[in-house]
Structure 1
Amino acid sequence: MSYNYWTETLLAMSEMLKRTLGRALASARKSAGMTMTDIVNTRIFGSRQKLWRLETGQGPFKWAEVQALADIYRVDIKTRSQWVDWAMRAGESGWWENFSSTVSDFRFGLYVELEQAASRITVCGGELIHGLVQTEGYHRAVIEQTQHTTHEELEESVKLRAEREAAVLGGPEPAQLKLILSEAAVSFQIGGESTLGKQICHLQNLNQRPNISVSCLRFGDGGHPSMRGPYTLLQFSEAEAPDIVYIESLDGGRFIEDPKVVQRFISNAKLLTTKAVPIKEWARERNAVA
């Protein structure tokens, strides 16, 4: 499998989601006893034509507008979450392209799409906490200390990170996330002691969720199989969708899709799981030493 598989799959998925969301919006409006004119009069949309394009699955869909329609139609929280999820995944060019200064590399944009579509995500190693589980303070500190950005770019990055987390870990069916951290990631004083402390506390709280596992590879346990570089393994519930590995670097990310190579990463992740300790156990040991 190659980029062609994923780009074609995502395009087909996008068209399907547009039609599905369009039908759902039209049905909800009719169930609420409202006409298109009623909706236009709320001033959310400038014309009937725009609403018509949404209801016929043509888009473009903006999640904020879908949220507003959910408020008008008074749908339940599960339906609202599903609509927003569809809207974010059905963007004609990828919802992440609204963050043009943050997502300058198409490969990262494709990764964001795949991350959202994945049913299981395994993150191994690395010296940074993964973006999906960063606190806002930690994320700001990472950007400020590692990149040259304007204030506007920083705020855009903060918003993108929050929307990624909501898309992947929020909603009625969040992804299964396994985070295997290097002890370096929870030791570097990024943002200072207070910021790091809040980040570690956040990780401990996340570890209590049934769909999230956070563990740590301790310095004292010696080397581990992921020391040559961190990676993210994405796996999907669809039988025809191949597993994929994403590796990020300074010049952009790259994907590994060769099944034999991906299988080595899967085996590596299983081995790391046996070596890592739960984040709370690591924190308890650290506090005992302190």
Structure 2
Amino acid sequence: MTDPNPGPAIARALLSKDLRTLRDESPAAAVAKAMHWSLSKLNRIENGKVTIQPVEVEALARHYGVADDGELRRLIQLSVASRQRMWWRDEHFDEDFTNYIAFQHDASHLYSYQATFVPALLQTPEYAFAVTSSVLRRPARDRQVRNVVDVRLKRQETVLERMRGEFPPQLSFAIDEAVLLRPVGGDDVMAAQLDHLAEMATRAHVRIVVLPLRLGVHPGLGGPFELLTFSEDADLDVVFIETPASDFLLTDTEDTATFRDIMDELLATDPAGDSLHRALTAAKAALRQ
């Protein structure tokens, strides 16, 4: 079911797409001149780089010949929704990461493949501190580590809140078995993390697939990624790739389609739905040794 009240990221994306469609073959320079805008402003609006005020949306829509009151209200409402001030706008993140958090807030299906550590949305606080401290090569009490973990926990809280709402998102995770066998933070922290994975898997709308080491090669070996899809429009998929040096947000439909296919193949490795139970049993046994 589609949420009739989209969040700011999907509202901006939908509005940008609609405005590009309305312009059709009209020269962008001519439209910008008619609106008394710079060409760069129109380009940024159509590319979803900036928001557009409701009064500007109405003026632009009327310039394009939109006369239907219902359609005008829909476009104006998208503008209003796109300008909501959310918590992540007050943080000092890279643009791609900020946009990813915004899209995650609106996604109808959240996918993640991880080969090195537990996906961010499934981490306990203790595990998050341990893995972030290692990745950043800083002590767990370091301010940068705390900031990263705080944001990660806010992302979890946002998703869990949506799962309790009227339009809960679907969550699908594919995790390499090695992730569960690596005792991040020590045995006690890892044992609690394994229990948390088991608890999360019991929730509606959550699916966790573990790729056994004996599986050998699989399409996820190209690297970890997160994929977001949206019930409002299949062309709005986004992929987020995180590295120690920089992050990347992919929005091109050909690029995102590749990752959607990879995710489908990874999830299909567990048709019986018992891979997590088997992997957790083995991981807990390894901790006791």
Whole-angstrom CA distance in 2 between matches of 1:131 and 1:123: 9
Give runs of aligned pairs for residues 28-43 of structure 1, distance below 5 A: none
Deviations 1:80-110 (Å, cap 9, x if unpaired)? Answer: xxxxxx9xx922xx5224443xx3x221111
Deviations 1:58-100 (Å, cap 9, x if unpaired)? Answer: xxxxxxxxxxxxxxxxxxxxxxxxxxxx9xx922xx5224443
Whole-angstrom CA distance in 1 between matches of 2:109 and 2:49: 18
On the 8 A contact 1:183/1:216 being kept in 2, the answer is yes
Whole-angstrom CA distance in 1 between matches of 2:44 and 2:118: 31
Whole-angstrom CA distance in 1 between matches of 2:189 and 2:151: 20
Q: Give the secondary structure class of the aligned counterpart of 2:131.
A: helix
Closer/same/farther in 2, CA of residues 228 and 159 from structure 1, 3 Å limit: same
Deviations 1:37-69 (Å, cap 9, x if unpaired)? Answer: xxxxxxxxxxxxxxxxxxxxxxxxxxxxxxxxx
Q: Give the secondary structure class of the aligned counterpart of 1:160.
A: helix
Gaps of 5+ in 1: 16-85
Identity of aligned residues (%): 23
151, 172, 178: which one aligns with 1:178: 172
1:279 aligns with 2:268: no
Whole-angstrom CA distance in 1 between matches of 2:51 and 2:120: 25
129, 135, 143: which one aligns with 1:140: 129
Closer/same/farther in 2, CA of residues 7 and 148 from structure 1, 3 Å limit: farther
Q: Give the secondary structure class of the aligned counterpart of 2:262.
A: helix
Structure-1-length-normalised TM-score = 0.64
On the 8 A contact 1:204/1:214 being kept in 2, the answer is no
CA RMSD of the aligned region, Å?
Answer: 3.2
2, 6, 11: which one aligns with 2:51: 11
Whole-angstrom CA distance in 1 between matches of 2:96 and 2:203: 30
Give runs of aligned pairs for residues 254-269 of structure 1, distance below 5 A: 254-269=248-263
Aligned length: 214
Query: What's 1:128 paired with?
Result: 117
On the 8 A contact 2:126/2:185 being kept in 1, the answer is yes
Whole-angstrom CA distance in 2 between matches of 1:240 and 1:287: 40
Q: Give the secondary structure class of the aligned counterpart of 1:179.
A: strand
State the one-letter code of the partner of 1:185: V
Gaps of 5+ in 2: 1-12, 18-42, 55-80
Query: What's 1:48 paired with?
Result: none
Q: Give the secondary structure class of the aligned counterpart of 1:234.
A: strand
Give runs of aligned pairs for residues 1-290 of structure 1, distance below 5 A: 8=48, 11=51, 90-91=84-85, 95-100=87-92, 103=93, 105-149=94-138, 151-171=142-162, 172=165, 173-239=167-233, 242-276=236-270, 277-287=274-284
Closer/same/farther in 2, CA of residues 8 and 159 from structure 1, 3 Å limit: same
Whole-angstrom CA distance in 2 between matches of 1:213 and 1:228: 22
State the one-letter code of the partner of 1:262: T
Query: What's 2:62 paired with?
Result: none
Query: What's 2:22 paired with?
Result: none
Deviations 1:171-211 (Å, cap 9, x if unpaired)? Answer: 31332110100112222221011111111111111111111
